[in-house]
Structure 1
Amino acid sequence: MTDQSEIDLAGKVAVITGGASGIGLALAVAAARKGMKVALADLSEERLKVAKETVEAAGARTITVRTDVSKLDDVVALRDAASQALGDPWLVANNAGITKLALSWDHSEADWKRMFDINVGGVVNGLLAFLPGLRERKSGHILNTASAAGLITIPAASAYVASKHAVVGLSETLYRELLASHSGVGVSVLCPALVKTNIMKSETTGAAPSADAMNSSHAMEPGDVANQVFDAIATRQFWILTHAAHMEPYIRSRTIEIVSQLNPSRASIDPDVARSSTAITGVDFLAST
């Protein structure tokens, strides 16, 4: 892969939503080590305070802005605060996201709305707020965090899966548009499988140990995800599949099922995730075909 030094990120501004923990915080630390200035956005002011100290320790001039990504006004305020304090944003990481593990009929209307407001609406609001400026400057890069669940499906996570499929489709369409219009703006979609973050903690608390998919041998550290992201940005790579080797057989199986019009089978789901969904719901997804 092309060396990251091909794009000099020193002095450029990164804006990262969901930046107080997990992948977002890892992205911020990696950006700091590249010499970028960083604007961190999250809902929790307490976690933002701690995250700021971490990112500043990595060498970045850093600001924090409490942001509800489901509200366009909040994201516009984030853009304005970042521009005023740090300069024009170059990297916009639409990273904030939530999940819920439950059978489809146990998802409430509120569950569906919140999932889409944050996971999809957060990306849309990021584009509405930042894309005009990036296009005007003919420079920059957008990172939309989706999931491996945007490429295959996870039992007992229909709202999450649907939201992440939406992010993948939106991002691929945007890529084609930005490229064909010679915008000068890049876009990548991040599709990680299991990453050691807190996103699943509330879903598995009190459940059997087998419910914790983070015990899987392929669960990745956030910092390793962030390194792959910056490798991809350096080469304007669209697809970022951090667990590509692990996910390939399931993605290929699903593609074959689609084009051959075969019913979904065990071959196209990640067994580690299916095991977790089984433990949480009591429905055996490993035995189904």
Structure 2
Amino acid sequence: MNMDQATALSGKVAVITGAASGIGLALALHAARLGMKVALSDVSDDRLSIARTQVEALGAQAIAVRADVSKFGDVEQLRDRAERELGAPWLVANNAGITKIALTWSHSAADWRRMFDINLYGVVNGLLAFLPGLRARRSGYILNTASAAGLLTIPAASAYVASKHAVVGLSETLYRELSASRSGVSVSVLCPALVKTNIMQSSDAAGAGSAMQSSHAMSPEDVAVQVFDAIAAKRFWILTHAAHMEPYIRARAEQMVTQENPDLSSADPDVARSSSAATGVDFLAAPSA
């Protein structure tokens, strides 16, 4: 544990959505180790109860609030309970998210709506609910969980990719606004690649589990360490897999500025391989002219 972080964050309130498992739970546990009070939110009462027990076992004061982040009223209630029972929030982690591996023409209207309601509007609702208080107090931190899919594209995940690109664009715009207005509030965008979480084992991500065998698949705990290091440094971009992603990001940027068609150099082959396994389409073959 970084003792400077613990000193800086001890007693402050963290609100974390999608906190019952995966990255969200790892963030909650790490916040607890740093002496923060933690409001955990998710849609599963049973998993939330277990997560709260784990956080409290570390000596932290915690509450568990069932909330559907796609519903603004639920997020308002999360804010109100956090303020009433723990105090004014300082860290707001808009982390809840879902995915689906399917070809674009296999996504239903309901698939698109659900993906954006949770992945994008979950972030928007978090900002609408918590940002006014953070700005009024001129203190606080926002963490928006996007994905490597907010910087690159994943074949057979168009709804997910679109929602995560939106989160990245929203977050960078917000960063410029908060900085220029000297708001006292900071923001980071989290863009992990493969992380060993339930999102990749869900029925909506069927066929993607093979990606977890990749050598660069990371534990949620390692992601949490990087997140809190970035918060301490007030670093906007959090690319947990930066070394792995760099060649694909650079290749994509080069293709943009030279107006060349996308090719294999700008796609993560591990992810492309799992998308191929899920759909039967070979995404590792060179694109046709």
TM-score normalised to structure 2 length: 0.96
Which consecutive unaligned segments of at least 5 residues does structure 1 have? none
Structure 1 residue 205, shift from structure 2 partner? 7.8
SS state at 1:284 partner: coil
Deviations 1:230-252 (A, max 9, x none): 00000110000000000000000
Which consecutive unaligned segments of at least 5 residues does structure 2 have? none
In the alignment, structure 1 residue 12 sits paired with structure 2 residue 12: yes
SS state at 1:186 partner: strand
Which residue number corresponds to residue 211 of structure 2? 213
How far apart in 2 are the matches of 1:9 and 1:125? 25
Question: Counterpart amino acid of 1:22?
Answer: G
In the alignment, structure 1 residue 191 sits paired with structure 2 residue 191: yes
Question: Counterpart amino acid of 1:70?
Answer: S
How far apart in 1 are the matches of 2:278 and 2:11? 46
Which residue number corresponds to residue 285 of structure 1? 283
* Kept in 1: contact 2:146–2:167 (CA 8 A): yes
Which residue number corresponds to residue 238 of structure 1? 236
In the alignment, structure 1 residue 273 sits paired with structure 2 residue 240: no
Deviations 1:149-186 (A, max 9, x none): 00000000000000000000000000000000000000
Return closer, same or farther for 1:203/1:251 CA change in 2, 3 Å cut-off. Answer: farther
TM-score normalised to structure 1 length: 0.96
Deviations 1:66-109 (A, max 9, x none): 00000000000000000000000000000000000000000000
Return closer, same or farther for 1:28/1:163 CA change in 2, 3 Å cut-off. Answer: same
How far apart in 1 are the matches of 2:32 and 2:132? 25
SS state at 2:8 partner: coil
Structural mapping, 1:36-115, within 5 Å: 36-115=36-115
Which residue number corresponds to residue 175 of structure 1? 175
Return closer, same or farther for 1:206/1:136 CA change in 2, 3 Å cut-off. Answer: closer
How far apart in 2 are the matches of 1:29 and 1:79? 20
Structure 1 residue 200, shift from structure 2 partner? 1.2
SS state at 1:212 partner: helix
**Alignment coverage as a number of residue pairs:** 286
Return closer, same or farther for 1:104/1:49 CA change in 2, 3 Å cut-off. Answer: same
Return closer, same or farther for 1:206/1:67 CA change in 2, 3 Å cut-off. Answer: closer
SS state at 2:259 partner: coil
Structure 1 residue 206, shift from structure 2 partner? 7.0
Question: Counterpart amino acid of 1:100?
Answer: K
Structure 1 residue 211, shift from structure 2 partner? 5.2
Question: Counterpart amino acid of 1:31?
Answer: A
How far apart in 2 are the matches of 1:71 and 1:161? 22
* Kept in 2: contact 1:204–1:212 (CA 8 A): no
Q: CA RMSD in A?
A: 1.5
